[in-house]
A and B are shown apart, each in its own frame.
Chain A
């Protein structure tokens, strides 16, 4: 299994670069997360929730029409069918159990597309814990249905009004609130942040690749996929979909970033292609930044991929060549969403549509087994789809 060093490094990426105000919190988490995640009590409770509350295992669906279209065997890992509509709930439930077992009673979270916010709000409602979700002002606008869901679930949605008013700034605000309220539990939504969060979230999302492995063996009758494809914002659905395949070099791993209006357009969130080694949100990773280390405001039509960093584990896999980086523009993602909808009757989240869009770039053979992680469903993006497709 891929694991960071004791200090939280994957190669040169990772670590915990937090101000002293957060030291005790991060240390407490670091000292407890493995023990709790490995405990029988935790495993049983999370296992039960994932099965009966979330609806796992999610299907591994052979998309026959899409397969014919791309000339390969395309399987969709249906994370969109999870309760709340995305992979984010796998992590939110795991972390809230961890929080409870650590004696925490108040939850904070950041969100971009609102899927993690909804997942955190859902988990908090279930556990009877108050929850505050920080969300960029722009994202509050473009993901309105998720804002309403969070509120209905009893969470407070706090607008982040600094910087680009998107995911990066929501994360800044969550961290700042945490500094002022060290008794809260910060339920982070992706494989980002200071160690141990990247490892913690990767472990909780690893259920995705574990199921893919079992489903390919038992339902499809193949040993391994040729490709696993996932979109990357912070990288949690990709980390989860790749996790159990990382050691098997025969499985090609493909991470798809959001190119926005084009990688070179100045309005992009393609961190692997545009970033350099830097520090963001408490870890050292690839960051879109100026020569003086000022973080560049990213852009993508997809709120969940609109992030100027990338989780350290992904940065490591990409930099060492274990994983390949592709990107898709806004326009390509929109077209891919339409394609999937009309070929398979599945309306994907805009984030997941980026993964579909990248299929065109792969040198696929008819015998290839390609698993695309369909990280979420498109309900939240309907307003965007209505606008662009004139519906």
Chain B
């Protein structure tokens, strides 16, 4: 069984933590990742800092800009992930970034580097699934790289089914019409109705709810409608306050 399959067979709610590589220091990732895994997170999502992250709110914009200022490169990100894997860590690691980063690295070289670093899958918000199917799928398959697609409140039922068919890891349920961000601290009724609607579709892929999630309560709530939740901004803010260890302890307790 792949690391992804093994993980999603586990008890809900699963916690996926997003961290911007190169933040707060250029070499912070391996140590923070080990701490996260020790505390029991299920999945690690590593953000590849980008100059123009269109789907990201102010916090991830700022951590990305700082990471780039710190001098983080793709080669360093892959090396740091290899270091994480040296600890025999078997949780899935996803890379999240923008299509231009993959294009400039060279799609094939990029996927090979991912495989070498034992990355499990990619999340590329500006890679539409149609383009994935027409131009990238064979390459992803050749390198055994999984892909995750986003679903939003505006995604039609027909399109959700198509995304589910094309996806081979988990569907990323964007919690609201929004950028990444800390959100409002709780889900609204319409958000819960949306999560229920997706859950009732009995999709073939596991689902993770992300964007705007900031607390243990929201994680538990997400677990009622999906396999778990993705927390990014709130975690990055806890790093800034130097309270990340306590924040993760609470989330995983």
Which A residues contact B (CB, under 8 angstroms)? 15-21, 23-25, 162-163, 168, 172, 175-176, 179-182, 277-282, 287, 289-295
Q: How far is the CA of A163 from the CA of B51 in the complex (A)?
A: 8
What are 9 A-B pairs with beta-carbon distances under 8 A? A20-B163, A168-B52, A278-B104, A279-B99, A291-B104, A293-B98, A293-B100, A293-B102, A294-B68
Return chain B residues, CB-CB under 8 Å to A289: 100, 104
Closest chain-A Cβ to B70's Cβ sits at a distance in Å of 13
Known interface pairs A20-B149, A20-B174, A21-B152. Does A295 touch B52 (Cβ–Cβ under 8 Å)?
Answer: yes
Q: Mark B1-39, 1 if CB is under 8 A from A, else 0.
A: 000000000000000000000000000000000000000
Closest chain-A Cβ to B66's Cβ sits at a distance in Å of 13
Q: B125-133, B136-144, B195-203, B230-238: which one contacts chain A? A: B125-133
**8 Å CB contact of A292 from B57, B104, B125, B163:** B104
Q: How far is the CA of A15 from the CA of B52 in the complex (A)?
A: 18
Quick check: is B239 within 8 A (CB to CB) of the other chain?
Answer: no
Closest chain-A Cβ to B204's Cβ sits at a distance in Å of 18
A278 contacts B103, CB within 8 Å? Answer: yes
Return chain A residues, CB-CB under 8 Å to B215: none
**8 Å CB contact of B101 from A19, A172, A293:** A293
Q: How far is the CA of A175 from the CA of B126 in the complex (A)?
A: 13
The 7 closest A-B pairs by CB, nearest first: A293-B104, A19-B125, A20-B150, A293-B100, A294-B51, A24-B154, A279-B100
B104 contacts A179, CB within 8 Å? Answer: no
Q: How far is the CA of A313 from the CA of B152 in the complex (A)?
A: 31
Q: How far is the CA of A164 from the CA of B125 in the complex (A)?
A: 23
In the complex, chain B residues 68-125 whose Cβ is within 8 Å of any chain A Cβ: 68, 73-74, 98-105, 125
A20 contacts B105, CB within 8 Å? Answer: no
Quick check: is B155 within 8 A (CB to CB) of the other chain?
Answer: yes
A15 contacts B68, CB within 8 Å? Answer: no
Counting chain A CB atoms within 10 Å of each CB, the highest count among B55, B159, B178 belongs to: B55
Return chain A residues, CB-CB under 8 Å to B178: 179-180
Counting chain B CB atoms within 10 Å of each CB, the highest count among A25, A281, A282, A294 belongs to: A294
A292 contacts B126, CB within 8 Å? Answer: no
Q: Which residue of A lies closest to B61 (CB)?
A: A162
Q: Which residue of B lies closest to A287 (CB)?
A: B100
